[in-house]
């Protein structure tokens, strides 16, 4: 522990790099294994010859998964939920954050308190369920979109960002005859791209990965989202639809291989977008955190 770089420090640096590399491997190996398995032959999987590289490469599993009607139905429902849900999230978050970012807005403090309160006190599951039920939204796509229309936390991030925009600019816009609606649409939105892109991604990934909401509000077997479909597929061993398709196709199909292919397809959008989105995610996540 001297001032110059001692052997102890060098040892620490080396160990640190080794440890971090091992952690990274632990994070990525399960994914590589599933990708490898999805491209390997059923025979190779049964005999445990697949680790991180495809053995006897084949596209059979993908062919079978993409021929499954239930997979496409679940995928289509999920895409609709992501698009409609995120759109609603964004519109409400923006129009809610803009007025609340104005320091001069009368009644701003009570309204902010009103919103922050809901971040601390959550209603239990059942009263929430009963409200959704009263609206007749059970077993409809609306149950997956409307109850989660705003995230108070995301709205706080957005308010903080909007507050940083120069008020002089809005005054000038008003002098030029713009009303507040126009200002939000043609000034605030384009100038707030960093935060809006982040929120868009948070909301969209949230919808794509949501398992809880459909579990709660949907019991119609024909209305599965991708995550529910995936979970049922894995937990029940095999989906009827898929099993019959598999039986018809050939006898050497393995449920595991089909599950692997389904997992890969359900993760694909996120993994493909991930490298492009990472910088935004990180920026957005830090925006609302510690600032010194």
Partner 1 sequence: MQSKSLQMLSKEEKKKQPGARRVSGDVSFLSFVKKNHALYVMLIPVIFYFIVFKYVPLLGSVIAFKNYNIFQGFLGSEWVGFKWFELMFNNPMYIDLFKNTMIISFYQIVFAFPAPIILACLLNEVRLMAFKRGVQTVLYLPHFLSWALVYGLAYMMFSTQTGMVNNLFKEIGEPVINFLQSTELFRTVVVGTGIWKEMGWSTIIFLAALSGINPSLYEAAKIDGAGRWKQFIYVTLPGLMPAITILLLLKIGNVLDVGFEQIYIFLNPVTLSVGEVLDTYSYRLGILNGEFSLTTAIGLFKSVIGFILLVSANQLSKRTTGESLY
Q: Radius of gyration (Cα) for the chain, nearest Å?
A: 25
Strand, helix or coil at 259?
A: helix
Q: Binding to partner 1 (CB under 8 A): which residues in 53-72? A: none
- Contact in structure between 60 and 209 (CB atoms under 8 Å): no
d(CA 86, CA 80): 10
Which stretch, 54-62, 63-71, 167-175, 244-252, contacts partner 1 (CB under 8 A)?
Answer: 167-175
Residue 266 near partner 1 by CB under 8 A? yes
Query: Which of 107, 94, 109 is closest to 151 using CA atoms?
Result: 94
Residue 39: CB minimum distance to partner 1, A: 14
Identity of the residue, 6 or 244, whose beta carbon is nearer to partner 1 in the bound complex: 6
Chain center to CA of 39: 26
- Contact in structure between 233 and 37 (CB atoms under 8 Å): no
d(CA 226, CA 209): 8
Q: Binding to partner 1 (CB under 8 A): which residues in 115-134? A: 115, 118, 121-131
Choosing from 113, 175, 177, 276, the residue that interacts with partner 1 (CB under 8 A) is 175
Q: How many CB atoms lie within 10 A of CB 89?
A: 24
Residue 163: CB minimum distance to partner 1, A: 13
Identity of the residue, 105 or 248, whose beta carbon is nearer to partner 1 in the bound complex: 105
Q: Binding to partner 1 (CB under 8 A): which residues in 34-53? A: 34, 37, 45-46, 48, 50-51
Residue 271 near partner 1 by CB under 8 A? yes
Residue 221 near partner 1 by CB under 8 A? no
Choosing from 67, 244, 252, 286, the residue that interacts with partner 1 (CB under 8 A) is 286
Residue 110 near partner 1 by CB under 8 A? no
- Contact in structure between 84 and 148 (CB atoms under 8 Å): no
């Amino acid at each position: 522990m001297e001032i110059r770089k001692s052997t102890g420090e060098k040892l620490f640096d080396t160990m640190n790099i080794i440890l971090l590399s091992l952690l990274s491997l632990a994070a990525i190996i399960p994914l590589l294994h599933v990708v490898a398995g999805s491209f390997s032959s059923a025979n190779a999987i049964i005999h445990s010859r697949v680790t991180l590289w495809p053995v006897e490469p084949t596209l059979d599993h993908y062919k079978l998964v993409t021929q499954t009607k239930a997979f496409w139905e679940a995928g289509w429902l999920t895409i609709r939920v992501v698009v409609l849900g995120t759109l609603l999230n964004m519109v409400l978050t923006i129009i809610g954050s803009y007025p609340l970012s104005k320091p001069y807005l009368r009644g701003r403090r009570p309204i902010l308190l009103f919103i922050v309160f809901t971040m601390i006190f959550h209603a239990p599951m059942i009263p929430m369920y009963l409200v959704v039920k009263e609206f007749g939204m059970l077993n409809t796509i609306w149950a997956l979109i409307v109850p989660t229309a705003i995230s108070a936390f995301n709205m706080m991030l957005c308010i903080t960002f909007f507050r940083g925009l120069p008020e002089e600019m809005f005054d000038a816009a008003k002098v030029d005859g713009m009303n507040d609606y126009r200002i939000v649409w043609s000034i605030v939105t384009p100038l707030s791209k960093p935060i809006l892109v982040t929120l868009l991604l948070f909301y969209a990934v949230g919808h794509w990965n949501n398992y809880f909401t459909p579990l709660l509000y949907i019991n119609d077997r024909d209305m599965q989202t991708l995550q529910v479909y995936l979970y049922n597929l894995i937990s029940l061993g095999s989906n009827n639809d898929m099993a019959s398709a598999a039986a018809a196709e050939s006898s050497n199909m393995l449920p595991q291989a089909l599950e692997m292919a389904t997992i890969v397809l359900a993760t694909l959008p996120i993994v493909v977008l991930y490298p492009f989105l990472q910088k935004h995610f990180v920026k957005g996540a830090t925006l609302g955190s510690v600032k010194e």
